[in-house]
Amino acid sequence: MDAEFDARLGACAEAVERTLDALLGPEPLAGEIARPERLVAAMRYATLGGGKRLRPFLLVESARLFDVEGEGPLRAGAALEMAHCYSLAHDDLPAMDDDDLRRGRPTLHKAQDEATAILAGDALLTYAFDVLADERTHPDPAVRIALTLGLARAGGLGGMAGGQMLDLQAEGRYGAAEALGEGDVRRLQAMKTGALLAYAVEAGAILGGADSDDRAALSAYGRALGAAFQVADDILDVESSADALGKATGKDAGRGKATLVGALGLAEAKAERDRLALAAELALAGFGPEADVLRAAARFSVERRS
């Protein structure tokens, strides 16, 4: 599976790159007055040229379980990646995590400036909803509205944006740093990174027209994978080099970031990471070999080096 997995992951990343490139072209859509060149360039910088595209991959492969392929899942995957990249651009800002390096390149506000980074993030988030709501993503409005609502819930105050707020609070910038217990760290991570990863799988199930049993199974898979991914991230921050990761490392502890490594210790965090990855695989027990690629994705999420 590993060679086939790598090939499929790479092929999907290329297809998502092409889709993003086409969506972020210079020509305005109907209903748009004009596309300012500087803003388009910043949105392209924030989204193109890198990344494993794990979220779109999970979406595309979840839809493929139900034999749905092609433009629809790729557009939804590109929208999801825009939402992910908007959050990175905003989280990197000086007022937030103040990061200079992302995917081995200067972060957007370093390459351009803060105002452009804020606006490009805003425009990417908005465009993600545009792409999901457009009929080219799926002919049925009910499917598109389910995709839209899912992204809003995963990305909003009760999901990704809320998780970043909790993360900043845990650092102690609004009073004494809170030493979060394991349960609080898990909830924070389920919001900050888990919700969007789980949505990737959910969106694939929506596009695939999955029945409620299959949706529940995929939802459990997505949540476990999201949690496993974040523990792996915490461990990478401790163990990897900035060179391999393409961004600064060892910063979590220095900032007092809430991590499961901090709450559990390194050895137990690794055990938990592996348990979660296994739980993700086991959630797919009702599927046959057609789900092998998703099982491999669960392993990949915890075995990656960057």
Given 20, 65, 191, 225, the residue binding a second copy (CB under 8 A): 191
R_g (Cα) of the chain, nearest Å? 19
Q: How many CB atoms sit inside 10 A of residue 9's CB? A: 19
Query: Cβ neighbours of residue 261 under 8 Å, at least 6 residues apart?
Result: 231, 234, 235, 237, 238, 252, 269
Query: Between residue 247 and residue 306, which ones bind a second copy under the rule CB under 8 A?
Result: none
Token match 């995929």: residue?
A: 218
Contact between 19 and a second copy by CB under 8 A: the answer reads no
And the tokens for 168?
């900043």
Contact between 35 and a second copy by CB under 8 A: the answer reads yes
Contact between 141 and a second copy by CB under 8 A: the answer reads yes
Q: Which of 133, 127, 132, 122 is nearest to 161 (CA)?
A: 122
Instruction: Please say which residue, 119 or 248, places its beta carbon nearer to a second copy.
Output: 119
Q: CA quadruple 211, 214, 216, 218: dihedral positive or negative?
A: negative
And the tokens for 69?
């392929």
And the tokens for 219?
């939802």
Given 96, 101, 177, 248, the residue binding a second copy (CB under 8 A): 96
Given 90, 102, 247, 270, the residue binding a second copy (CB under 8 A): 90
Query: Between residue 47 and residue 76, which ones bind a second copy under the rule CB under 8 A?
Result: none
| Piece of 114-122, 205-213, 233-241, 279-287 that binds a second copy (CB under 8 A) | 114-122
Binding region for a second copy (CB under 8 A) = 28-36, 38-40, 43, 86, 90, 93, 95-96, 113-116, 118-119, 121-123, 125-127, 129-130, 133-134, 141-142, 144-145, 148-159, 161-166, 168-169, 173-174, 187, 190-191, 195
